[in-house]
Structure 1
Amino acid sequence: MTAEICGDHLALKVLMSENYEFFASCPKGVEGLLAEELAALGGEEIRQTVAGCHFKGGLQAAYRACLWSRLANRILLHLRQTDAENRDFLYDGVKAIPWEDHFEPNATLAITFNGTSKAINNSHFGALVVKDAICDRLRDKAGFRPSVNKNTPDIRVHVRMNRNRADISLDLSGESLHRRGYRLDTGKAPLKENLAAALLVRAGWPNLAREGAALVDPLCGSGTLLLEGALMAADIAPGLLRLNYGFHNWSGHIPKLWRELLEEARERRTAGLAAMKNRFIGYEGDIRVVRQAHDNLRRAGLDKRIHIETRELATVEPIKGYQGLVISNPPYGERLGEESSLVWLYQRLGETFRTCFDGWQGAIITSNPSLARRMGLRARKNYSFFNGALEAKLLTFDIKPEWHFGHHKKVQEAEQGGDKKAEEVTVNTDITLGKGAEMFANRLRKNLKPLQKWARKQDIECYRVYDADMPEYAVAIDLYRDKVLVQEYKAPASVDEQKAEERLHDILQAIPTVLPVKPEQIALKQRRRQSGKNQYRRMGDQQERFEVTEGGCRFLVNLKDYLDTGLFLDHRPMRLRIQKEAKGKRFLNLFCYTGAATVHAAAGGASQTTSVDLSKTYLEWARQNLSLNGFSDRHKLENADCIKWLKGCNETYDLIFIDPPTFSNSKKMRDVFDIQLEHKDMLERAMGCLARDGVLYFSNNFRKFKLDDALSETFAIEEISGQTIDQDFKRNQKIHRCWKLTHRH
């Protein structure tokens, strides 16, 4: 027997011995958890390193790791470490391995090469050298060489360069172990299954699961966290659904041992499912992603155990009779959405945690700590992980009042009997008013008394309290919760400028004596007819946005930076009408401004919404309003000229709202927009997008507007202006006009 043959048989004897060297790779940050898992699966002499663990053990330990590891990416069988100072050394070292003892020469092959050296400074070149060495050896031994299949090879060889040494291994797992077999389609920015499992372990789910706790994900996407949580609770091996492993085509594979482990895993699954009492609930706003999630549940055999429904974050409710873990993977800002709009999503997520899951454990993963702070919860612990190349933190919470931001301050104020809010809204009655200011204050009081009662009854906190009732005091005054906006109309040329200035001073002096605001809570603007880019230009840059509510919806308003505040108060009845009619409907909002009508439609249960506006500024504002209310990105925002967008629209909608400007010559538009000239063609095109039983609402505030008579010959049209004017605009009913259009049947 030649020395070479003796060496080959010796190598095979070592390979089939009781003790092998393995490497289990994993996401960065999971190494400690993986070491504990490998020890429980029979691994020995475990050594942690970056993104993985070295361990030793028999073949059974490797099989168990492939079948049961919830955290590993791959299980690699170490074959040899060789000198790789240059191309020839690497080639000779790889060729010296008895590859004919590991797989048949007609097998297909793939090489994964990581790392470089001075001589081998390209991983593709390194992979070619390794492939040539393996193929040349098998050609010399068997007379032909294997072919390469990068996607579904029979055998995967891994090579890791470290300085001038190369570690050469066989991949026993085949595809990455995070691919359990239940997930084919995913939502946006999905978590890999093994990272999801690691997050659940760090969040304490295994212990909670044993106690029969519930697991809830309010932003569940395709359901990965819930599926991994259920697999843990039911003692189901994560690899049980997989049909193929890398060791299936390895010559050292022992099928009998593998079959025994599979049978054991199936028995444990049956027993685990029978004993499992946990509840698993997920919510997702995008119905398409929910369908993907249901497909994943069916493939995993857990569709009867996990409940996932189409529901926005805004409508999540407490889970009665259960406590447990609420966990989520909200967007970070790097891949989904703009950070400015995610601020409000995280705020809403925090409120959902606090109000719906009091007493539960909570956890989120995020790469943006500033967004996480918006949740209003102090993290109990945080752990670093890598979601791909992106470093992220798992934050865990005890969802209890004492862990809410500001809790200790509130307790202290309560103990001291202080009520700063009540003090801030006290009306100042100590100011001595001049004759003009007193006259204006009396009129304001007269207006306020019935309006205040009406607003309280209707749960309205933003409304108009004065609108140039007295011609000499030509202002509009709007109350936005605990702030006031004064809009001064341009005085006619016949009014002396100094006199107009004195009257404005009277108004500003009188307001704090009637309304529950301080002088610094009053914003002043001077209204002018605006056109083109002036409609969107900033008047300031103070960024003083604050929240107000309307009909159960929340909106961001800004009283100082723009001509308008972000919420047209006169359209309140129209928005509430849309909310009542939107359930299950496809809603289109043209000239959407800050998306207030869209938010109401979403709150009313619209199946989907599309909002179109030419201004990126206002569309981003709309995105923030949607996020603030917990609505997902199934509510589409389109940055476009509405007229051009309509011309290319092929979609059908059940409910359409159009509230265009009177006139626009924005630099983004090629043509001037004039509502009187454009409305007929615009409405005809919009009606072409309206379902046969749908409704279109058209509104504008051009006082001289006349609806084209020809439209009535084609469509059923009803003017409903009177139905869309609320109590606070009864004096000025020409603030806007509104029509209802439907198809004739």
Structure 2
Amino acid sequence: MKFIATCPKGIESLLADELAALGAESVKLMPTGVAFEGELAQAYRACLWSRLANRVLLPILETNVETADDLYSAIQRVHWSDHLDPSMSLAISFTGKTQSINHTHFGALKVKDAIVDQLREITGERPGVDRENPDLRIHAHIYGGKLNVSIDLSGESLHRRGYRTQAGAAPLKENLAAALLTRAGWPALSDDSPVLFDPMCGSGTLLIEGAWMAADIAPGILRDRFGFEHWKQHDAALWESLKEEAEQRRINGLTAFKVKVYGADEDERMLDVTLSNAERAGVDHLIKVHEAQVQRMVRPCEENGLFITNPPYGERLGESSELMFLYRDLGDTLKQEFGGWKAAIFTGNPELCEAVGLKTDKTYRLNNGPIDSRLFLYTLYANRIAKEGQPSEQAGDVALSETAQMFANRLRKNLKNLNKWRKQNDIQGYRVYDADIPEFAVAVDVYKDWVHVQEYAAPKSIDKIKAFDRLKDVLAAIPEALGVDPLRVVLKQRKRQTGTQQYEKQGTGRRFFQITEHGCKFRVNLHDYLDTGLFLDHRPVRHQIQQNAAGKDFLNLFCYTATASVHAGVGGAKSTTSVDMSATYLQWAMKNMAINGFADKAHHFIQSDCIVWLKKQRKPAYDLIFMDPPTFSNSKRMSDVLDVQRDHVELIRLAMRLLRQDGVLIFSNNFRKFKLDYEMLGAFDINDITAQTIDPDFKRNAKIHSCFEIRWRQ
């Protein structure tokens, strides 16, 4: 019999070797698959034992087609009663097209009709359709006018082993994990180096697949069903004998198991997921896990082994500069701790591996879903282990480079100039550096005993590794110059955000702490959001609101975390109303107000698109209004795109309708090229107070915002 096994792109040759080792004959490589021959037992064995295949197909028809009638006639040439009974259900998977058949749903419908009509004509009954859990899956594919039809013997994709019910943010498919291990030389490597370690194990897929390979456990042993089990030509006795053989091999393999399997992750919750998945896989007693960051990682035991990991590489999980540091930390740790080991790093962003700083033995190209990815293999020689007493290469533990020292000197100078001002005003959040030196394009903000570093996105013409090295100098200098713990320095890359990116969490933790400003308390978070919860440049405006709020009704539009509302409350406002589109920020706002003692009915929070809300209001109900719209927003939650330059006239007019006759609107925004349209706003008395709203820590960057007081003409 002839069969086809499909697989992810890039592992076809591995699959061919695997099938040959399982006894397959006439093995031949195909794009994203392998053709092979053998008796039925060979197909069953491939379904049960292949760690790399997605599906095992039995071709039953190959012919030329062009039109829908050609397709229908071709399908009817198959004797479908040899494969299924009318009482069974089926599902059709159709891919490809011709000039006449240009829709996959239409093609699948034609295939289904041809099968159903034939069986109904013979038996008077017809099979049903079950797309989710059919008795038989049929694959039809057209390419270059040639139709290939196959019975899917595997059923659900073979990568679904049955042990992983929980996963992390970007999990590897199980067969891709097995392919990475195979490329890295596992499990043959375990004869001399019987340790497997993944320092960022996530849901544990690499660890579990590695344990199964070393224990000779069939990857299909946990599956509830295969596609062939309801197929009419299924040999149940043969299948049972193969399962019994696999079970005995599993018992023998676990009894003889001598490999040590270790995992680590900085997210303790993912370790629980790893152990739960390992328990379902029957190998939880073989895997040890612990919580650890890459920067604090040490080799898990004295023996040598295989270090293998799939670190993050996409924007979902981190910005490129932060990830550069992660990969550099990986390289430093490998050099210092893992001499004598083999290492494998799999990434969808090969440029990041340049930061590892190790010479590769081999590089393999594989696809992780749609992502063109690379597997980098390294040999770590014993003399790379850091000797006892040798200085660590971690930032802060070695002498600063010349460029880092230059940056540190500038930080010290700036801090000295700000010390008197910040102490007199009890300021715990302030900017200490903002791209003062062209080579160091970062902003550095202090939040009590934490430091928040924002890297301005470099032009594409700048060499990424050189830019990264300069950023490394920045992060090395900050702890020494500012006297903070290196682990309390948080890096983000600043770039324009669009849509819901402006409001989404960027991390998984909830790492809040509290700072004070002019007697107000604020919750800030440097890790989990694009911004920290406190716009430092608006400090003088907030203080002005605090000094003028006594006895007034205050409205805060685009309120963010309602820091201005807190200042108004502390200043004695009669009431505050805070409006924002984001439920996340409004919850944050409520907590900010609550920790300052403002949780009563006088303080209101409204979740709404501010423009929509303003258009619905008519009554002048406020004495003091603060409006700080974003420069640009195209969030799906908005009724329209907001552009502050284009839309500021309408925003101001709408807000002024709500302002009492003797009140004041403070209008601010952060668009550096902003120009207020005085002519269109001629009905109002406008005073540019920008210069008064720039504190000493932003004097170098006076265009950080524009600010205006707007009143009714008397």
TM-score, normalised to structure 1, is 0.61
The correspondence for 2:310, drawn from 329, 351, 367, is 329
| Cα separation, 1, equivalents of 2:521 and 2:176 | 42
Determine the C-alpha separation between the residues in 1 that align with 2:8 and 2:566: 58
Residue 685 (1) aligns with residue 582 (2): no
Q: 1:170 to 1:188 in 2, by over 3 A?
A: same
| Cα distance, 1:571 vs structure 2 | 7.4
Aligned match of 1:543: 440
Q: How does 1:384-395 map to 2 (within 5 A)?
A: 384-395=365-376
Which amino acid in structure 1 is aligned with residue 144 of structure 2? R
Structure 2: where are the runs of 5+ without partners?
Answer: 387-392, 445-449, 457-469, 498-505, 526-531, 543-556, 572-589, 599-696, 698-714
Pairwise CA distance, 1:684:
6.8
What pairs up with 1:82-231 in 2 under 5 angstroms?
82-211=63-192, 213-231=194-212
The answer for the alignment partner of 1:262 in structure 2 is: 243
Question: Do the aligned partners of 2:321 and 2:493 also contact (CA within 8 Å) in 1?
Answer: no
- How many residue pairs get aligned? The number is 514
Contact residue 486 and residue 525 of structure 1 kept, 8 A:
no
The corresponding residue for 1:41 is 22
Indicate conservation of the 8 Å contact 1:567/1:596, yes or no. no
1:282-319 CA-to-partner distances (Å, cap 9, x unmatched) read: 01122222222111111001010011233222332222
Q: Which residue of 2 aligns with 1:53?
A: 34
- Flag the 1:161–1:527 CA change in 2: closer, same or farther, 3 A: farther
Going from structure 1 to structure 2, the CA distance change for 1:177 and 1:677 (only over 3 Å counts) comes to: same
Conserved in 1, the CA contact under 8 Å of 2:411 and 2:482?
A: no
Question: Within 2, Cα distance between the matches of 1:245 and 1:314?
Answer: 44
Q: What is the one-letter code of the residue matched to 2:104?
A: S
Q: 1:618 Cα shift? A: 11
Tell me the alpha carbon deviations over residues 610-641 of structure 1, each in whole angstroms, 9 at most, x when there is no partner.
x9xxx974999xxxxxxxxxxx9444579999
Partner amino acid, structure 1, of 2:337? C
Aligned equivalents of 1:460, 1:362: Cα separation in 2 = 26
The alignment status of 1:73 with 2:54, answered yes or no, reads yes
**Structure 2 counterpart of 1:484, which letter?**
N
Unaligned 5+ segments in structure 1 are: 1-19, 408-420, 422-457, 463-478, 490-522, 548-552, 577-594, 600-610, 621-631, 650-655, 690-734, 736-745
Counterparts of 2:309 and 2:508, CA distance in 1: 18
Distance change (3 Å), C-alpha of 1:618 and 1:28: closer
- Quick one: distance in 2 between partners of 1:277 and 1:95? 55
Aligned to 2:705: none
Question: Counterpart in 2 of 1:692?
Answer: none
Q: Which amino acid aligns with 2:539?
A: F
Query: Which of residues 225, 235, 241 in structure 2 aligns to 1:244?
Result: 225
Q: Identify which of 261, 268, 287 aligns with 1:287.
A: 268
Matching of residues 382-421 of structure 1 within 5 Å: 382-400=363-381
Is this contact kept in 1: 2:434–2:442, CA < 8 A?
no
- Deviations 1:343-386 (CA, angstroms, capped at 9, x unpaired): 11111111122222111000011122220010111111001101
1:176-221 deviation per Cα after TM superposition (whole angstroms, max 9, x unaligned): 0001111111101111111111111110112112346100000111
Identity across aligned pairs (percent)? 38
- Deviations 1:444-482 (Å, cap 9, x if unpaired)? xxxxxxxxxxxxxx98989xxxxxxxxxxxxxxxx9599
Which amino acid counterpart does residue 117 of structure 2 have in structure 1? Answer: D
Give me the whole-angstrom Cα distance separating, in 2, the residues matched to 1:640 and 1:46.
65
Q: Which amino acid aligns with 1:228?
A: E
- Report the secondary structure of 1:332's partner residue: coil
Task: Provide the C-alpha distance between the structure 2 equivalents of 1:353 and 1:346, rounded to a whole number of angstroms.
Answer: 10
- 1:485 matched residue in structure 2: 410
1:216-615, aligned counterparts within 5 Å? 216-400=197-381, 483-485=408-410, 538-539=435-436, 541-543=438-440, 567=478, 572=483, 597=488
SS at match of 1:111: strand
Counterpart-to-counterpart distance in 2, 1:554 and 1:398: 37
d(CA) in 2 for partners of 1:76, 1:669? 58
Partner of 1:444: none
Q: 1: CA distance between counterparts of 2:162 and 2:236?
A: 21
Give the C-alpha shift of residue 38 in structure 1: 0.8
Name the amino acid aligned to 1:167.
N
| Corresponding letter in the other structure for 1:663 | R
Instruction: Describe the superposition over 1:641-691 as per-residue Cα deviations: whole angstroms up to 9, x where unpaired.
Output: 999997999xxxxxx9999889244998688849976669987734899xx
Change over 3 Å in CA distance of 1:678–1:340 after alignment to 2: farther
Q: Given that residues 43 and 56 in structure 2 are in contact (C-alpha distance below 8 angstroms), is that contact kept between their aligned partners in structure 1?
A: yes
Deviation at 1:148, TM superposition (A): 1.3
What's the offset of the Cα at 1:568?
Answer: 8.3
Match of 1:449 in 2: none
1:637–1:392 Cα change, 3 Å: farther
Return the offset for 1:485. Answer: 2.3
Q: Is the 8 A contact 1:46 1:53 kept in 2?
A: yes
CA deviations on 1:204-256 (whole Å, 9 max, x unpaired) are 11211234610000011101011111111001111111120000000100111
Distance in 1, matches of 2:431 and 2:192, equals 62
The verdict on how the C-alpha distance between 1:665 and 1:22 changes in structure 2, with shifts beyond 3 A counting, is farther
Whether contact under 8 Å (1:155, 1:249) holds in the other structure is: yes
Q: Is the 8 A contact 1:487 1:527 kept in 2?
A: no
1:2-43 superposed Cα distances (whole Å, 9 cap, x missing partner): xxxxxxxxxxxxxxxxxx110000011111011111111121
**C-alpha distance in 2 between matches for 1:75 and 1:191:** 21
**Within 2, Cα distance between the matches of 1:155 and 1:645?**
64
In structure 2, do the counterparts of structure 1 residues 210 and 143 end up closer, same or farther at CA, with 3 Å as the change threshold?
A: farther
Task: Determine helix, strand or coil for the equivalent of 1:663.
Answer: helix
Which residue number in structure 2 is paired with residue 663 of structure 1? 539
Contact residue 154 and residue 226 of structure 2 kept, 8 A = yes
How many Å separate the matches in 1 of 2:127 and 2:538? 73
Question: Once structures 1 and 2 are overlaid, which stretch shifts more, 196-205 or 143-152?
Answer: 143-152
Larger radius of gyration: 1
Letter in 2 for 1:27: P
**Kindly tell me: are residues 648 and 31 of structure 1, through their superposed partners in 2, closer, same or farther at Cα, counting changes over 3 Å?**
same
Alpha-carbon distance between aligned partners in 1 of 2:343 and 2:190, rounded to the nearest angstrom: 14
Q: Distance in 2 between matches of 1:534 and 1:459?
A: 25
Gap change, CA 1:58 and 1:676, over 3 Å in 2:
closer
Partner Cα separation in structure 2 for residue 642 and residue 113 of structure 1: 62
Report if aligned partners of 2:140, 2:147 keep a CA contact under 8 Å in 1: yes
Contact 1:487 1:526 in 2 (8 A): no
- How far apart in 1 are the matches of 2:326 and 2:302? 27
* Alpha-carbon distance change, 387 to 487 in structure 1, aligned in 2, over 3 angstroms: closer
Cα distance in structure 2, aligned partners of 1:672 and 1:272: 62
Give the TM-score of the pair, scaled to structure 2.
0.63
Measure the CA separation in 2 of the matches of 1:321 and 1:34.
34
Checking the alignment, whether the CA contact within 8 Å between 2:434 and 2:441 is kept in structure 1 is no
Alpha-carbon distance change, 568 to 349 in structure 1, aligned in 2, over 3 angstroms? closer
**Which amino acid in 2 is paired with 1:148?**
V
What CA deviation, in whole Å up to 9, does each residue of 1:115-139 have, x standing for no partner?
1122211111111111111111111
Q: RMSD of the TM alignment (CA)? A: 4.7
Post-superposition Cα deviations, 1:550-607, rounded to whole Å, max 9, x if no partner, equal xxx999799999xx999587974xx66xxxxxxxxxxxxxxxxxx96476xxxxxxxx
